[in-house]
Chains A and B, each alone.
Chain A
Amino acid sequence: MSIVVGILFAIGTYLILSKIFLRIILGTSIIGHGANLLLLTMGGLKKGGPPLLGLQELNFTDALPQALLLTAIVINFATTALFLVLSYRAYKVLGTDDVGELRGYPDE
Chain B
Amino acid sequence: MHCFYLINAIPFAYALIVPLLYKKFNAKIHTGWFVLVVPLLVFLHLLTYIPPVAKGKIISFTLPWIPSYDINFTAYIDGLSLVFSLIIAGIGLLVTFYSIYYLSKQKEALHNFYIYLLLFMGSMLGLVFADNIYVLYVFWEITSITSFLLIAYWFEREKSRSGAQKSLLITIFGGLAMLSGFILLSLITGTHSIREMIVQAGMIQSHPLFIPSMLLVLLGAFTKSAQFPFSTWLPDAMEAPTPVSAYLHSATMVKAGIYLVARCTTIFGGVPEWFWLVSGTGLFTLLYGSINAVRQTDLKALLAYSTVGQLGLIMGLLGLGSAALYFDVVGEGVLYAIAVFAAIFHLVNHATFKGCLFMVIGIIDLETGTRDIKKLGGLLQLMPLSFLPALIGSFAMAGLPPFNGFLSKEMFFTAVLNASKMSIFHMGTWGNILALVAWVASVFTFVYCMIILLRTFGGRPKGYKLKKSHITPIAILIPPFILAALVIIIFFYPNALAKYLLQPAWQAVLPTKITLQQIEINAWHGLNVEFLMTIGVVVAGAFLYKTLERLYSIYRYYPKMLTLNNIYEFLLEKMEAVSLAITRRYMTGFVRDYLVYILGFVVLMIGGTAFLSGGISLSLSGDAPINFYELGLLVAMICSALTVLLARSRLTAVIAVGALGLLIAFLFVLFRAPDLALTQLVVETITTALFLLCFYHLPKLKKENSTIQFKAVNVLVSVGVGVVTTMLALSVRGNSLFKTISGFYENAYELAGAKNIVNAILVDFRGFDTMLEILVLSIAGLGVYALIKIHLVGRRENEANK
Contact = CB atoms under 8 A, between A and B. Distances in A.
Given A64-B740, A70-B679, A71-B769, A78 B780 contact: yes
A20 B701 contact: yes
A56 to B, nearest CB: 12
Contacts of B60: none
Nearest to B678: A70
Interface in A6-57: 6-23, 26, 29-30, 33-34, 36-38, 40-54
A91 B701 CA distance: 13
B112 interface: no
Interface in B277-335: none
A5 to B, nearest CB: 5
A5 B482 CA distance: 82
A42 B732 contact: yes
A84 B591 contact: no
A70 B676 CA distance: 6
B632 to A, nearest CB: 12
A19 B704 contact: yes
Q: Which of A17, A43, A49, A50 neighbours the largest number of chain B CB atoms within 10 Å of its CB?
A: A17
Interface in B665-691: 667-668, 670-676, 679-680, 683, 686-687, 690-691
Interface in B139-155: none
B523 interface: no
Contact of B690 (A20, A76, A80): A80
Contacts of B592: 17-19, 99-100
A33 B151 CA distance: 59
A103 B748 CA distance: 53
A93 to B, nearest CB: 8
Contacts of B756: 51-53
B664 A33 contact: yes
Determine the main DSSP class of A at the interface with B: helix
B699 A38 contact: no
B698 A91 contact: yes
Interface in B599-648: 599, 623-624, 626, 634, 637-638, 641-642, 644-645
Nearest to B697: A88
Interface residues of B, number: 92
A29 B718 contact: no
B729 A85 contact: no
A29 B657 contact: yes
B776 interface: yes
B566 interface: no
A85 to B, nearest CB: 5
Determine the main DSSP class of B at the interface with A: helix
B671 A61 contact: yes
Contact of B758 (A13, A67, A74, A88): A67
A67 B766 contact: yes
B607 to A, nearest CB: 12
A60 B268 CA distance: 69
A100 to B, nearest CB: 6
B761 interface: yes
Contact of B590 (A36, A81, A103): A103
A23 B653 CA distance: 8
Interface stretch (B11-19, B171-179, B213-221, B784-792): B784-792
A89 B776 CA distance: 21
B660 interface: yes
Contacts of A50: 672-674
A104 B680 CA distance: 37
A3 B672 CA distance: 20
A72 to B, nearest CB: 9
A52 to B, nearest CB: 5
Q: Which of A36, A70, A91 neighbours the largest number of chain B CB atoms within 10 Å of its CB?
A: A70
Nearest to B745: A63
A96 to B, nearest CB: 9
Contacts of A33: 660-661, 664
Q: Which of A1, A5, A93, A99 neighbours the largest number of chain B CB atoms within 10 Å of its CB?
A: A1
B519 interface: no
Contacts of B645: 11, 14-15
Contacts of A9: 718, 721-722, 725-726
B796 to A, nearest CB: 14
Interface string B760-797: 01100010011001001100110110011011000000
A53 to B, nearest CB: 4
B463 to A, nearest CB: 50
Contacts of B561: none
B698 A97 contact: yes
B757 interface: yes
B628 to A, nearest CB: 14
Contacts of A67: 758, 761-762, 766
Contact of A82 (B591, B723, B741, B783): B783
Contact of A85 (B590, B660, B784): B784
B755 A48 contact: no
Contact of A4 (B638, B686, B690, B699): B638
B575 interface: no
Interface string B359-384: 00000000000000000000000000
Nearest to B744: A64
A53 B749 CA distance: 8
B787 A86 contact: yes
A6 B641 CA distance: 12
B709 interface: no
12 contacts: A10-B718, A12-B718, A13-B722, A15-B645, A23-B653, A37-B667, A47-B624, A54-B749, A61-B671, A80-B687, A99-B590, A100-B592
Given A14-B718, A17-B717, A42-B733, 20 more contacts: A3-B726, A5-B725, A9-B718, A11-B718, A12-B718, A13-B717, A14-B714, A14-B715, A26-B653, A41-B729, A41-B732, A46-B671, A50-B674, A61-B673, A66-B676, A67-B761, A67-B766, A71-B773, A80-B687, A99-B590
Interface of B: 588-592, 595-596, 599, 623-624, 626, 634, 637-638, 641-642, 644-645, 650, 653-654, 657, 660-661, 664, 667-668, 670-676, 679-680, 683, 686-687, 690-691, 694, 697-699, 701-702, 704, 706, 713-715, 717-719, 721-723, 725-726, 728-730, 732-733, 740-742, 745-746, 748-749, 755-758, 761-762, 766, 769-770, 773, 776-777, 780-781, 783-784, 787-788, 790-791
Interface of A: 1-23, 26, 29-30, 33-34, 36-38, 40-54, 60-64, 66-67, 69-71, 73-82, 84-89, 91-93, 97, 99-100, 102-104, 108
Q: Which 10 A-B pairs have the closest CB atoms?
A: A10-B722, A6-B726, A2-B729, A13-B718, A78-B780, A103-B589, A14-B718, A63-B757, A67-B761, A51-B757
